Structure 1
C-alpha cells in the first residue's frame, strides 16, 4: 500500500509501505483523506519541528479520516465500514499533567507523525493504518469524510478559544489567517463572539478568513487600514510572528486575555512585556487539544460552511505537489491528500 515517507529534509517519497497488523486493542483504518498540517511542512522543508528532529524515515500526517477495516484482539468500536475520524494523540495517563486534567501537554504523549521520540511515531499518511481503537471517533450524522478531515485542526482552534476564557458577546482579534487562524475565527464565532477581526498580509488569506466568519479583515502591513479596531476584548495570535503578538498586546483592553497559538519561528520571540505588566494582560499559551476533538466534529456537523476552507484535494501520488501548494498561502488554505476513491 502507498504511504508518504519523509527520509530527510526535502526528501518526501510516496512508496509502498507494509500493511499494518493490529496489536491487541488496536483498530485498522482505511484512510480516505489526510490534511497537510504546518508541522508536516516544517518536517519536509526543515527536517524537524522545533526540537523534534527527524532521525529516521517517518510516515507523516496526523489529520486523518477513513473507514474501519477491522480490529485486533480485545478491541472494538464502530462497525467495519463505518466512517471515522482518528484522534491522533495517545497521552500516557500517568504523568502529573494527565492526572491534573491537562492531557494535551502530557510529557510522554504519543502523537501520529511525530519525531518527538525514537523510534518515531509513524503517521497517518498511508492507505491503511493501525491505531488504538479508543482513538476512533464515529462521525456525527450528516458529516462526510471530506469535512471531517478538518476535525484535528479545528480542535486546535477550539482549544485556543477556550484558553481565552468566555468570549460570548465579545470582540476577538485573530492575527494570522492561515488554516489554523481561519479555524480560530470559526471557533470564536461558534463560541458566541459578537465580532471577530482577522489580520494577515495576504488578500487571499483574508478572503478565507471572511469565509470562516470574520466580521472585519485587515491588512496587517497597512496601519492606515480602516478596519483596525481601537480596542478588543481578547486576542489569539495564530501567525507565529512577533508582529502579530505585538498587535494583540497593543489592542487588547486592560485586563484582557491574549493566547499565543502560532509557534514562533526559531522558538524565541521578543515581545512587549511592559504591556503585559502595565495592562495586566493574561498571556497564555495554547497547545494541541484533548476533548475538543469531539466538539470539533459536532461543530463541523452543525456548520457545514467550514468545509469551504478546504481549497484543494490532491491524490496521494502527487503528495509533493500537495505539500508545495500548501506552502503557498496566496493560492491555498487547507490542502488534503486523498488516499482512496
Structure 2
C-alpha cells in the first residue's frame, strides 16, 4: 500500500481550539510500522488538552496530535522484520519507557521510568504526538497483534482496560471481597468489569450521574450509590476501594468507605498540588494508600481476556463518530451524564 505524505488528524492547538487538519506522516525507520488507524478512544487527557490546554502538569506549548487509545491494521511493515506483517490487526501500547540516568525507579516497573514518553502527551517538549490520524508511524515494539476472535471495535478499549487491570492488580487478591469503586466513568466502569472477572463478591460503584452508574451495573456492579450520599458510601466498609474519580472529594469518599485495615488504590489522577484529605481516618484505620499509574504489560492479558470473552467491556462503548465529526465526539465525551467511552472512526 502506498502511504500518503500527509494524513488527516485531530490536532489541539490551544484550550478550546481543536482542529481536523492534515499532518505529515513520519517516514518510517527500520523498526517502525505504518498503521492505518481504524478506531481511537477519547481519553480524559485528550479532553483536558482540549478544554484546559493542559493535562495535570503537562502544559500544551505547541500544536499536538491527540490520541493514544488506538487500533488499526498494518499498512507498511517494519523493514527490519521486527513487527507484524502487512494487513495484521493491531492494538497499540503507547508508552516508551526510559530512564534519565539520575532518578531511581524499580527496573521491573517501567511505567515509573522518569523519561517515559506517551503518545499524545505534552509532558515533554517537543511534545509527543499521538495517533488520532488516518495513518500513524509507530515503533513496532508498541504493536500487539490481535487474535482473530477479537474485533477492532472491542479492542479499542484495550489500553484503558489495561489501566484498569493494573489498578485492580495493585489492589491485591479481590476474590470474595467487597470492593468500592469511586468514579464510574470509562476507567471506573472498566475497573468494575475487571473486578467482576477477578472474582470480587460485591462491587459497589459510586458516581455523580445516573448514566455511568447504569453502565457500571451492566458491567457487574452489584450495587450503585450516588456520590452525594456520603453516609451510604461510608457505610460500605469495603475491603478495598479503588478511586477513579480524579477528584479530592472522590478520594475522600474512598477513604471513608474503606474498612479498618483495608487498602485504597488511587487510579484517578488528581490535580497537581496539595489536596485536602481525611488523613486522620487513613492513619487510625491503618489504611494502605496505593498509587496506580498507567500499566506495563497488562495490555497483553487484557487482549487475551477480551478475545476469550472472560472480560466483557462492550457496554462501556456508548458512542461512535467519524473523524470529520471529531468536535462533536469530544463534546459528547466531555458530558459524563450521557456518555462513557466515545470512539472516533478513522477509516470512513
Same fold (TM over 0.5): yes
Matched, 1:298 2:304: yes
Query: Helix, strand or coil: the match of 2:313?
Result: helix
CA contact (8 A) 1:22 1:71 kept: no
Residues of 1 paired with 2:119 and 2:263: CA distance? Answer: 31
Matched, 1:157 2:164: yes
Cα offset, 1:304, TM superposition? 6.3
Considering only aligned residues, what root-mean-square deviation do their CA atoms show, in Å? 1.7
| Structure 2, unaligned runs of 5 or more | 1-6
Q: Give a deviation string over 1:123-157, Cα, whole Å, max 9, x none.
A: 01000111110111011231100000000100000
Return the match for 2:148 from 141, 148, 151: 141
Residues of 1 paired with 2:105 and 2:90: CA distance? Answer: 25
Matched length: 340
The 1:97–1:91 alpha-carbon spacing in structure 2 relative to 1, beyond 3 Å, is farther
The 1:298–1:267 alpha-carbon spacing in structure 2 relative to 1, beyond 3 Å, is farther
Return the match for 1:243 from 240, 243, 249: 249
Matched, 1:2 2:1: no
TM-score by length of 2: 0.93
Aligned to 2:174: 167
Matched, 1:283 2:303: no
Residues of 2 paired with 1:332 and 1:259: CA distance? Answer: 25
Cα offset, 1:97, TM superposition? 5.6
Query: Helix, strand or coil: the match of 1:92?
Result: coil
CA contact (8 A) 1:50 1:267 kept: no
TM-score by length of 1: 0.95
Q: Give a deviation string over 1:144-203, Cα, whole Å, max 9, x none.
A: 000000001000000111111111111100001100100011111111111100011111
Matched, 1:255 2:258: no
Cα offset, 1:266, TM superposition? 4.7
Aligned to 2:3: none
Cα offset, 1:92, TM superposition? 1.6
Aligned 1:139-218 pairs, distance under 5 A: 139-218=146-225
CA contact (8 A) 1:326 1:333 kept: yes
Query: Helix, strand or coil: the match of 2:176?
Result: coil
CA contact (8 A) 2:11 2:65 kept: yes
| Structure 1, unaligned runs of 5 or more | none
Residues of 2 paired with 1:98 and 1:222: CA distance? Answer: 40
The 1:110–1:223 alpha-carbon spacing in structure 2 relative to 1, beyond 3 Å, is closer
